[in-house]
Amino acid sequence: MKYEGPIYRPPSEANSLLIQATIGCPHNRCTFCLVYKNGPEYRVRDVVEIKREIDEAAEDHGFQIQTLFFPSGNTIAMDTRQLAEICRHARKKFPNLERITVYGSSQYIHQKGLKALQYLADSGLSRIHVGLESGDDKILRKIRKGCLSEKQVQAGKWVIESGMELSLYVILGIGGLEGSEAHALATARALNQIEPHFIRLRTFVPKVNTPLLEDVQKGVFKMLGPHGVLRETKTLVANLTCNSYLTSDHYTNYINVEGRLPEDRERVISKIDLALSKDENRFRSFFIGDQ
């Protein structure tokens, strides 16, 4: 298997076959993201090459492959017919394949529209991981996400309507001290409208080689401490009315909260309250991320 540039995959794809369909990220402007800041430039791999790698993997492990993930950062931006072609090819070659997943930002999902998403779902694409990050437009502009809330909500609804599963990521603390409450409330509003299958929480950690780290170091961006992040999480969860699975299993988080919403909401809030009763120095310390 040939890989080029950084290869990231969601924790839920730990057992998946990874075949790279695209390289880099066509947006590459988010102020918190370091992944492709040093390149490589975005490009789509040759479909013939991708299909050849699918064939090779099928020869070696055809019956064992149950989940397939196509990296890199925004594979949904790939031409719809080409993405559909590699999905159909994989479905043919791996008889026990249950899921094909990609990363995709709302702006590229929105550009595709519902019909193209339905075509992809019919071709075998089954799940998209999307960085919502926040539902607050002021924050989305500041972090240069490339898409505001209205489009994020529409894109998310289309993914669900197409029949695919939607996994949305939220960055706790991305609004800083000043924007914390607005971030929690607007994000809950967006999530309630979309009703994604999964809500995955990550806590903001400044990363090397990013504009947001520079703002943190200059004191322009004031980060939340552990209690601030926990209070923000509590406001977010308390305002969620959607039917979704909430999870936060990630090294950046201060605590792990997990459960089915809305049923488990009170249990999750009690866990946050318990964590809030502990001294702040009991949580992980500040660090600058390098991956």
Choose among 38, 124, 127: nearest CA to 84. Answer: 124
Stretch that binds ligand SF4, among 25-33, 91-99, 151-159, 179-187 (CB under 6 A): 25-33
Per-residue contact string for residues 131-170; x = within reach of ligand SF4 by CB under 6 A: x---------------------------------------
Answer yes or no whether residue 206 interacts with ligand SF4 by CB under 6 A.
no
Closer residue to ligand SF4 in complex, CB, 74/154 = 74
Stretch that binds ligand SF4, among 29-37, 154-162, 192-200, 283-291 (CB under 6 A): 29-37
Closer residue to ligand SF4 in complex, CB, 29/81 = 29
Angstrom distances, CA of residue 156 to CA of 51, 166, 261: 29, 7, 18
Answer yes or no whether residue 73 interacts with ligand SF4 by CB under 6 A.
yes
Answer yes or no whether residue 179 interacts with ligand SF4 by CB under 6 A.
no
Is 183 in contact with 175 (CB distance < 8 Å)? yes
Answer yes or no whether residue 106 interacts with ligand SF4 by CB under 6 A.
no
Stretch that binds ligand SF4, among 12-20, 27-35, 174-182, 184-192 (CB under 6 A): 27-35
Residue 8, judged by CB atoms within 10 A of its CB (0-12, 13-18, 19+), counts as: middle
Closer residue to ligand SF4 in complex, CB, 131/179 = 131
Please give the residues from 229 up to 288 whose contact with ligand SF4 meets the rule CB under 6 A.
none
Closer residue to ligand SF4 in complex, CB, 109/237 = 109
Strand order in the sheet with 127-133: 17-18, 67-70, 99-103, 127-133, 165-172, 198-203, 244-247, 259-261
User: How many other C-beta atoms can be found within 10 angstroms of the C-beta atom of residue 16?
Assistant: 18
Stretch that binds ligand SF4, among 26-34, 57-65, 77-85, 193-201 (CB under 6 A): 26-34
Answer yes or no whether residue 90 interacts with ligand SF4 by CB under 6 A.
no
User: Tokens for 40?
Assistant: 């490589």
- The residues pairing with 172 across neighbouring beta strands, listed in sequence order, are 203
User: Tokens for 133?
Assistant: 């990050």
d(CA 93, CA 291): 33
Q: How far is the CB of 29 from ligand SF4 (least distance, A)?
A: 6
Is 276 in contact with 227 (CB distance < 8 Å)? yes
Q: How far is the CB of 205 from ligand SF4 (least distance, A)?
A: 13
d(CA 135, CA 156): 12
Q: Is the peptide bond before 123 cis (omega within 30 degrees of 0)?
A: no
Q: How far is the CB of 33 from ligand SF4 (least distance, A)?
A: 3
Q: Given candidates 35, 65, 168, 186, which one binds ligand SF4 under the rule CB under 6 A? A: 35
Applying CB under 6 A, the residues found at the interface with ligand SF4 are 25, 27-30, 33, 35, 73-74, 105, 131
